[in-house]
Structure 1
Amino acid sequence: MSVLELRDLRVTYAGDVPAVRGVDLSVAAGEVLGIAGESGCGKSTITNAVLRLLPRSAEVGGQVLLDGEDVYGMSFGRLRAVRWAQASIVFQGALHSLNAVQRIGRQIAEPILLHSKVSRREADKRVAELLEQVGLPARRARDYPHQLSGGQRQRVMIALALACGPRLLIADEPTTALDVMVQAQVLDLLSSLVKDLGLSMVLISHDLSVLGSVCDRVAVMYAGRVVEQGPATAVFDDPRHPYSAALAGAFPRIGDERFRYSPRGLPGDPPFPGDLPGGCPFHPRCPIAVDLCATTEVTLAGVGDGRTSACLRATERGLDLRGAR
């Protein structure tokens, strides 16, 4: 049984704005799934949908299953027990997620005291263990968030997410605001925690190179749908959708000849969810689009080696998905 399974997940915001349009994804025990895409493609909406953190005005369809149990069929009491203890989230902005006027030790201890029913002394001991686990000395429990660097605050967020021993960790662009060196440290930390603790993880990023180095599988999203899915290294090295190819080319590998002439972006912007073009929603920006792309709604189809792509031309031989033959 999958730790997390999304079945035909659909999320529509107020004003009839379809942010997520029929997404099917699963995460096995001990697996790391990456979700990639530009801002506005629906990545964070999926994150918030997993634990019912969406605004009340949002309409949700389909199913979100945690260990086989439908999150949207849970009572609030059951949902409260599942949050933290079964699945937890590391948000993008640690400074905005932490309470500025509480010491970090108290913030980490709060969910432990709530869910584990332990004494304050036992909770403090667990806080010290968690801080050591994420590479911070236990004495930093007495600090306030502003006394920590960006990378240290992100480590605190990871410790907070691990406080109650969840099986699933969701990391929503956890390294976006960090410099390259600290980003690498945080990613190494997440990878080691997944391995050491046997966690499953969903890692969300716009950077395919990050996902390719950390994840087992990657799902690439565009306009609220998954347009390609497969093994992480394969999606990065040999994308089978032109949008995946554009993302991969935007983050080339230094010293790799294949990326020397890669594009550094795409013309235009992603479509507004409330005003999607007909056919394939990527066709107005696609370098290999044909007339049929503007009228045919493409769904995911197998392209070999456990990979799927939503592109009419994905299986054409000799075709460079970056637009050159």
Structure 2
Amino acid sequence: MTTEPLLSVRDLRVAYGSGPGAVPAVRGVDLELPAGRKLGIAGESGCGKSTLAMALLRLLPPGASVGGEIRFAGEDVLTMRWGRLRAVRWAGASIVFQGAMHSLNAVHRIGDQIAEPILLHRSAPPARARERVTELLHQVGLPPDRADAYPHELSGGQRQRVMIAMALACDPRLIIADEPTTALDVMIQAQILRLIGRLVADQDIGLLMISHDLAVLAETCDRLAVMYAGRIVEEGPARAVHTAAHHPYGRALASAFPRVGDPASRRAPRGLPGDPPDPSALPGGCTFRPRCPRTDDRCGEREPALVRVGTAHHAACVHAGEGSR
């Protein structure tokens, strides 16, 4: 007997605009996330990560078109009626956005902002909502009296904890975290990541975490998918993708950050020249070809499909499995 994953994405396609001028942002993405597991999505800005996250709960702007299948807890998100989708967005799945200061309302106390989804989606009386706010603040490591504070009275790390408390307010089964620690210093970042990991384990929820930093995802997640030009180009166990990527883009992302205790990488992080391609003018064949150090004639023939390169590890490269150069 097989158990359906908490989140299942099949051939997801997202484009902005319509007709011949439509710009593809996500191109045929497949993903699975079981309950109690953590999946990381990595890639540079412009690779489609945030568009993918917004598509999962139909939060894209009106000009976007979506195709494929998104199933959450066995239900098709793309065919849900508005009332059901509205309930799923808080009680089923929630999002922790990048930049808490821009997501919180500056003129409302944070306790009221955390209580709002509880009052709306759980129809809880005000007294019970206040109790739940106290529970959530304690859960994310904030004293209860912070409920009376305004966002500007909190530090960056505290505001991010408030965002996590809001995401947990209605006991969702899935949390989507879009760059949740980008604006934080490394010490606070480590605290937030430990907090997220503990909450996932304690509450058996699924976590989809988006970041440009492979090292952060490798420390936090069970599995890791690397996106480039709107597609998944590598997917596998997080540690394996971080330390032994088979796609040259995955290796470039991993080597772009200096390693603590490694003087050579600190003095000369390798990085990657150039930028991701314009989604409206993608190159033929492998979209990574213009930046790839290993390109040859085969790379221009077609866009590579994901192929198995190890145990539960796949990469979309004609050189996958040949070893690094």
TM-score, length of structure 2 as denominator length: 0.96
Secondary structure at the residue paired with 1:191? helix
Instruction: Give the letter for the 2:189 counterpart.
Output: Q
Equivalent residue of 2:14, what SS?
Answer: strand
Aligned equivalent of 2:316, options 299, 310, 317: 310
Deviations 1:186-222 (A, max 9, x none): 1111011111111110010000000000100000000
Structure 1 residues 249 and 111 mapped into 2: Cα distance closer, same or farther (>3 Å)? same
Percent identity between the aligned chains? 64
* Corresponding letter in the other structure for 2:152: H
Q: For structure 1, list consecutive stretches of 5 or more residues without a partner in the other structure.
A: none
Unaligned runs of at least 5 residues, structure 2: none
CA displacement at 1:257 relative to structure 2: 8.2
Match of 2:176 among 159, 170, 176: 170
Q: Could you tell me how far 1:118 is from its partner in structure 2?
A: 1.3
Q: Which residue is 2:99 aligned to?
A: 93
> Which residue in the other structure is 1:205 paired with?
211
Match of 1:124 in 2: 130
**Counterpart residue number, 2:285:** 279
- Are residues 1:64 and 2:74 paired? no
For the Cα contact (< 8 Å) 1:249–1:262, is it kept in 2?
no
Task: Identify which of 297, 300, 312 aligns with 1:294.
Answer: 300
2:166 to 160, 164, 167: 160
Contact kept, 8 Å, 2:258 with 2:269, in 1: the verdict is no
Aligned residues of 2:56 and 2:70 also touching (Cα < 8 A): yes
Runs of at least 4 residues of structure 1 off by over 6 A?
A: none
Q: Distance in 1 between matches of 2:312 and 2:59?
A: 32
The alpha-carbon deviation at position 295 of structure 1 amounts to: 2.3
Corresponding residue to 1:230 among 236, 249, 252:
236
Q: Which residue of 2 aligns with 1:49?
A: 55
Distance (whole Å) between structure 2 residues aligned to residue 141 and residue 283 of structure 1: 51
Query: What is the SS of the residue equivalent to 1:25?
Result: strand
Query: Judging changes above 3 Å, is the alpha-carbon distance between structure 1 residues 222 and 57 closer, same or farther for their aligned structure 2 residues?
Result: same
> 1:156, 1:64 → 2: CA distance?
28
Q: Which amino acid aligns with 2:112?
A: R
Which residue of 61, 80, 83 maps to 2:86? 80
Q: Could you tell me which amino acid in structure 1 is paired with residue 7 of structure 2? A: L
In structure 1, which of residues 229, 243, 249 is the aligned counterpart of residue 249 of structure 2? 243
How does 1:3-22 map onto structure 2 within 5 Å? 3-14=6-17, 15-22=21-28
- Aligned-partner Cα distance in 1 for 2:297–2:70: 36
* Aligned residue type for 1:13: Y
Determine the C-alpha separation between the residues in 2 that align with 1:222 and 1:97. Answer: 27
Tell me, in whole angstroms, the C-alpha distance in 1 between the residues paired with 2:168 and 2:278: 36
Q: Separation in 2 of the partners of 1:27 and 1:100?
A: 34
2:115 aligned with 1:109 = yes
Q: Distance in 1 between matches of 2:317 and 2:264?
A: 22
Counterpart of 1:84 in 2: which secondary structure? helix
| Separation in structure 2 between the aligned mates of residue 44 and residue 277 of structure 1, nearest angstrom | 22
- Offset, 1:69: 0.5
Let me know the Cα RMSD of the aligned residues: 1.3
Contact 2:257 2:269 in 1 (8 A): no
Name the SS for the 1:152 alignment partner: helix
Q: Distance in 1 between matches of 2:310 and 2:53?
A: 28
Distance 2:269 2:163 in 1: 35
Aligned to 2:34: 28
